[in-house]
Structure 1
Amino acid sequence: MIKITVPATSANLGIGYDTLGMAVSLYAHFTFDHADELVITGCPEEFQNEDNLVYQSFTQALGTWGVDPFPIALDIQTEIPVARGLGSSSTCVVAGIMGAAALTRHTVTREELVAMATAIEGHPDNVAPALLGAAVCSFTPAGELPRCLRYEVSDRLTFVTIIPPYAVHTSGARKVVPQEVPLSTAVWQMGRIAGLTRGLETGDTNLIAAANDDRLQEPYRRELIPDYDAIRRTCLEGGAKTLWISGSGSTLMAVTDDTIVAKFLQVRLREEFPSCETHILTCDNAGAQIEYL
């Protein structure tokens, strides 16, 4: 029996549309074992079958290695809500591939895992930090495997995470983003991506705030989150330096380097937005982990 733990992720980080992602300290736990028939527990009944994304990823990985699918006992215990912009699907994909490798004693590197997970998920911005930990900038050269640049995030930084009680699906969120932008917008983004990643490494919240001024996707996606303006105002008035939409939303993530500010802000958010779930998170610099039970 094996247990795989995968962190949640926050993609885009405001300015890094489809390129940046960061692992955070909210986790999904997956337990795998051999079985006589497929048994899936711990998730809603509608997902306790062969269409489960973890099992689908498990069988796709086996197929890559020329191994026939076999039944397993799979238990899923997750803290990560679905369709809230925290990489819930990526945790399933990563766990499925790692579970397949572990149960067949197939040795794979993290780089190979990223490539396989990207092939299933369709893009590396969530799966890369889920596997590698920290903040990751990913891109895929034509005809090549994904390239991942990893940035250790300062432990001074705290991410106050606000999860509204409604979903924003990625497919819908992509439709509102313009497919073409002026050259000036592209130039605006490029320097700020460098500034944001340096700020995350050094813990410089003033630099992070200055860099986090996106013109590609947040101005459009914020309209899909009814509480965006009110939550942003509360966070900035409460001492956070900046705020971004996590993935395609609806989760919002505020940044501070003061744990006391984070605690007071969490109390205020719970009072003003009682229907929202709030967490005080840090960056997970370890990435997905495997444990033999």
Structure 2
Amino acid sequence: RYLVVTTFETVLAEAGLLPSGVLRLRSDIPIARGLGSSSAALLAGYDLGRAVCGMSRDEKGAFSLALKHEGHGDNAAPCLYGGLRGVTLTASGPVVVDLHLSDAVGFAYAAPAVGLETEAARGALPEHVPHKTATASLGRLVALVRGLAEGRPDLIHAGVNDDLHVPYRLPLIPGAAAAMSAGMDAGAWAVTVSGAGSGLIAMCEPGEAEKVASAMKDSFTSITGDSESVGFSVRPDLLGLQRLEG
């Protein structure tokens, strides 16, 4: 069942209410494509339930719910608070860190018609990695965070290189390697697997985002032969979860 519905019903049940009626949902987030659709659904269902019950926002409760369900807060934090966020797990609980994101960085997204379930993507990862690989990844993360903050293509390119998950998940995505090359040829600074996949996310000049997305989409379509591949430019949402009056 939809995560929005199950979370919504859980909130109402805790308030002693029985849901009745029709709930219409609309989402532009592709499912199982590495864009955090499950976190968005969980947070939306939770806050909608509270709104129906006449309760105010509970960001701590919403984030805790998503963290428990997802096992991490990487998607829930930006979805809830907006912008670029990091999450550090401490003994006293998760700490959400607000990171600067330069408006000089554009983003392009593309995905094949077939999705990649998170469970399968996680199952492809090794349980252990060499110490050298782990330390190198920390160094790249520093470069990536600074590159995104300052809009520096060189740091973004260096920071996106990954040995922790991309080599293991890329073979699970039909046509992904060729689509990444197509994105780079179209002007991207860097391309990598978006979330757990099956989508790809590219960083580039904002004015080049549509061209990069189209190139990656066309590559997916050409290789897989499926016309249902998607590709579009994306802009960061700086507001996060909002309640809109009907």
TM-score of the two chains, using structure 1 as the length reference: 0.76
Cα deviation per residue 1:89-121 (whole Å; 9 max; x = unaligned)? Answer: 111101111111111122234333212322233
Residues in 2 aligned to 1:198 and 1:69: alpha-carbon distance in whole angstroms = 48
Indicate yes or no: 2:14 matched with 1:61: no
Q: Which runs of 5+ in 2 are unaligned?
A: 222-226
Residue of structure 2 aligned with 1:135, choices 56, 73, 84? 84
1:230 positional shift: 0.8
Counterpart of 2:224?
none
Distance of aligned partners of 1:53 and 1:264 in 2 relative to their CA distance in 1, 3 Å threshold: closer
1:286 to 226, 235, 239: 239
Say whether the 8 Å CA contact 2:144–2:159 is kept in structure 1: yes
1:183-224 deviations in Å (ceiling 9; x for gaps): 111111112212211211222222111111111110111111
Tell me which amino acid in the other structure corresponds to 1:76: L
Which of 92, 98, 102 aligns to 2:51? It is: 102
Q: Distance in 2 between matches of 1:169 and 1:152?
A: 30
1:263 is aligned to 2:210 = yes
Secondary structure, aligned partner of 1:189: helix
More strand by share: 1
- Report the Cα offset of residue 258 of structure 1: 4.2
CA–CA distance in structure 1, aligned partners of residues 130 and 206 of structure 2:
37
User: How far apart, CA to CA, are the structure 2 residues paired with 1:147 and 1:94?
Assistant: 18
Aligned-partner Cα distance in 2 for 1:146–1:106: 24
Between the two proteins, the alignment pairs up a number of residues equal to: 239
Q: 1:56 to 1:121 in 2, by over 3 A?
A: farther
Change (3 A) 1:108 1:78: closer
Deviation of 1:228 (Å)? 1.4
Q: Where do 5+ consecutive residues of structure 1 fail to align?
A: 1-50
Q: Which amino acid aligns with 1:55?
A: V
- Shift, 1:232, TM fit: 1.1
Aligned to 2:16, the other structure's residue is in SS state coil
In 2, the alpha carbon distance for the partners of 1:59 and 1:268 equals: 42
Query: C-alpha distance in 1, partners of 2:214/2:15?
Result: 51
Indicate the residue corresponding to 1:84 in structure 2: 33
How far 1:262 sits from its partner (Å)?
A: 2.5
Moved more, 173-182 or 273-282: 273-282
Letter in 1 for 2:241: A
Q: Which amino acid aligns with 2:127?
A: Q
Q: Which one of 104, 124, 133 corresponds to residue 176 of structure 1? A: 124
- Give the letter aligned to residue 93 of structure 1: L
Amino acid at match of 1:231: A
Offset at 1:162? Answer: 0.6
- Asked whether the 8 Å contact 1:196–1:207 carries over to 2, the reply is yes
Distance 1:71 1:242, change over 3 A: same
Q: 1:196 to 1:241 in 2, by over 3 A?
A: same
Hey, what does 2:97 align to over in structure 1? 149
For the Cα contact (< 8 Å) 1:176–1:221, is it kept in 2? yes
* 1:59-90 Cα shifts (integer Å, max 9, x gaps): 33345xx4124214311111112111111111
Which residue identity is paired with 1:117? Answer: A
CA distance in 1 between partners of 2:237 and 2:166 (Å): 24
Equivalent residue for 2:71?
122
Once the two structures are TM-superposed, the CA of residue 134 in structure 1 deviates from its matched residue by 1.1
Report SS of the residue matched to 1:280: strand
Residue correspondence of structure 1 range 190-201 to structure 2 within 5 A:
190-201=138-149
- Cα distance, 1:271 vs structure 2: 4.3
Residues 141 and 159 of structure 2 are in contact (CA less than 8 Å); yes or no, is this contact kept in structure 1? yes
1:226 and 2:174 aligned: yes
* Secondary structure of 1:255 counterpart: strand
The AA in structure 2 aligned to 1:88 is S
Q: Deviations over 1:34-81 (max 9, x none)?
A: xxxxxxxxxxxxxxxxx4311211233345xx4124214311111112
